Structure 1
Amino acid sequence: MAGVNPLLAGLAGRCPNCGEGALFRGFLTVADRCEACGYDFSRADSGDGPAVFVMLIGGFIVAFAALFTEIAYRPPVWVHLVVFLPLTVVVCMGLLRPMKGVLLAAQFANRAGVSRHED
């Protein structure tokens, strides 16, 4: 497939090469290869990048919501704990897989796994 946008495919958890096969075999475990086109994912490694971006984005969303709630309604502390601790988990877990897919697809798009040795 020639018209596949690797970043959108990675965001959807699909193979950045063909856009059809699954990128993950578990929640965050990267598949060994694409079942549709056979592209090898063994060199793909996103490292800690997805976790950093998720902490920054999710932290901003939840901290803003908690601050807004505190200023607007002044609820007791237990309300913050009951509402915003689970919200933090849900937001971070919801963002982690798409963010990892995007970073793996960015590696594919920029050919980061291909080493260049020029002697």
Structure 2
Amino acid sequence: MSDAHSFPMERPSKPAILRGLRCKCPNCGEANIFDGYLKVVDHCPHCNETLSHHRADDGPAYLTILLVAHIIGFAIHFMWVMWEPSPMVMATTLSVGAIALSLFLLPRLKGMIVAIQWARRMHGFGQDS
């Protein structure tokens, strides 16, 4: 039998995920977790929580592609049924929309994944506290 104290409890996931979606520290929710566009800071400048353990890897990109593809797919159908624009207008409009939406979602989804890993004490996040 394992001791109940040998495994650390999960931290509250919902507040951490919401903070991550805002690109804030999953622990305090005050400071930005990014130094630049997608580079996660090693330590939170506000609460000094170590964030260097994250392993977001390709997860944010996959989620971004999944969401953007579904939104653009719906937009293609909606635009064609409602207005029947020329193919060039549709391609240009939806390309700009897909790029803008991807650039908006990617850091937020990376923040969410880092926050989930922090909340569940994955990849070394549980060793500090």
Give the TM interval when normalised to the shorter protein. Answer: 0.7 to 0.9
The residue that corresponds to 2:101 in the other structure is 91
The match for 1:79 among 83, 86, 89 is: 89
The aligned residue for residue 78 of structure 2 is: 68
**How does 1:35-50 map onto structure 2 within 5 Å?**
35-50=45-60
* TM-score (norm: length of structure 2): 0.81
Q: Deviations over 1:75-109 (max 9, x none)?
A: 21111122111000011111111111001000000
| Equivalent position SS for 2:24 | coil
Partners of 1:22 and 1:92 lie apart in 2 by: 20
Deviation of the 1:114 alpha carbon = 2.7
1:90 and 1:115, CA in 2 relative to 1: closer, same or farther beyond 3 A? closer
In structure 1, the gaps of 5 or more residues are: none
- TM value normalised by structure 1: 0.88
> C-alpha displacement at 1:73, in angstroms?
2.2
Same amino acid, percent of matched pairs: 32
Change (3 A) 1:78 1:115: closer
97, 108, 111: which one aligns with 2:118: 108
Q: Tell me, yes or no, if the aligned pair for 2:53 and 2:125 is still in contact at 8 Å.
A: no
Match of 2:3 in 1: none
- The CA deviation at 1:63 is 1.3
The Cα of 1:55 is off from its aligned counterpart by 0.5
Q: Deviations over 1:26-46 (max 9, x none)?
A: 111111110011111111120
Kindly tell me the number of residue pairs found equivalent between the two proteins: 114
Larger RCO, structures 1/2 (Cα 8 Å, 6+ apart): 2
Give secondary structure in 2 for the equivalent of 1:64. helix
Alignment-mate amino acid for residue 102 of structure 2: C
Deviations 1:18-69 (A, max 9, x none): 1112211111111111001111111112011111111011111011101221
Return the alpha-carbon distance in structure 1 between the equivalents of residues 95 and 125 of structure 2: 42
Q: Name 2:63's counterpart in structure 1.
A: 53
